[in-house]
Amino acid sequence: MKSTYAIIPVSRFSHAKTRLSPTLTPSEREGLLKAMLTDVTMALKGAVDEVVVISADEDVLEFAYELGVTIIQEKGQTDLNGALKQAIEWCSGNCSKVIITPSDIPLLGLTNPKKFIEDSEKYDVVIAPAKGGGTNAVAFTPGAIELKFGDCSFFEHLQEAKNNELSFKIYDSFYLSLDVNTAEDLGEIILHGHDTHAQAYLKKLKLSAKPFHGSERLEIKRELI
């Protein structure tokens, strides 16, 4: 039977999104990561057969378990690709395809995850690029490609598919391209993240976004209470 598992790697809550420290406190960054992880898991639950979260952080795993997904404790000191290899090995005996997505793409549900799944049944590899040249989703048969997550990984994953003579599709989507690293990214969630937990959380923090003609396109302000 054909089945698809989604794998979400999650770093420690305490290490979450340090680049946002000028805008959000450590506890607020943790709250945002929880909201985004909730959005990602909810979007995938309706599209795949199993959602799997892998992390070395007990707090992350406990939170993911409460979301109703399968959890895997990361073993040893490894990098992102090493952790994903562990998860893929765990999944490979139970599924025909895996989809890897980060936990910080809260607008995933506003695109069409089921269309992404349908494309993964037609092509050996489907890749959704991040706006900075990374990979925000990649679907493939376990073992078909070597994972290259890191700087400009979209191009490396694309090259992997070509080197292995695999059919591939580039799934280009604004919603899927947005991962959260900067204050401007927070603004995109505030503007476009309709009905997401991430948007609701940022609004709870009294954050707002408006156009800004400077080094960034959006200015983020916090309402003074």
Task: Report CA-CA distances (Å) from 68 to 25, 37, 134.
Answer: 28, 12, 28
- Residue 225 has what pLDDT? 58
Cα–Cα distance, 128 to 149 (Å, whole number): 13
- Residue 175 has what pLDDT? 95
User: Over the range 120-142, which residues count as b (16 or more CB within 10 Å of their CB) and which as e?
Assistant: beebbbbbbbbeeebbbbbbbeb
**Pairing verdict, β 207-211 and 218-222:** antiparallel
Map out the domains of the chain with their CATH numbers.
Answer: 4-177 (3.90.550.10), 183-222 (no CATH)
Place of tokens 């709250």: 31
User: Are residues 168 and 125 in contact, defined by beta-carbon separation less than 8 angstroms?
Assistant: yes
Judged on CB neighbours under 10 Å (0-12, 13-18, 19+), 56 is middle
DSSP H or E stretch at residue 88: helix 80-91
User: Are residues 182 and 23 in contact, defined by beta-carbon separation less than 8 angstroms?
Assistant: no
User: Are residues 76 and 96 in contact, defined by beta-carbon separation less than 8 angstroms?
Assistant: no
Predicted TM-score (pTM) of the model is 0.93
- Residue 214 has what pLDDT? 61
Type of residue numbered 12: R
Q: Would you state the structure tokens that stand for residue 183, as one six-digit string?
A: 């204050």
From the first residue on, what is the mean pLDDT of each consecutive set of 10 residues in the chain (225 residues)?
90 86 93 97 95 96 97 91 96 94 96 92 96 95 94 95 97 94 93 96 93 73 78
Q: Inter-axis angle of helices 197-204 and 26-45, to 10 degrees?
A: 160
- Residue 215 has what pLDDT? 58
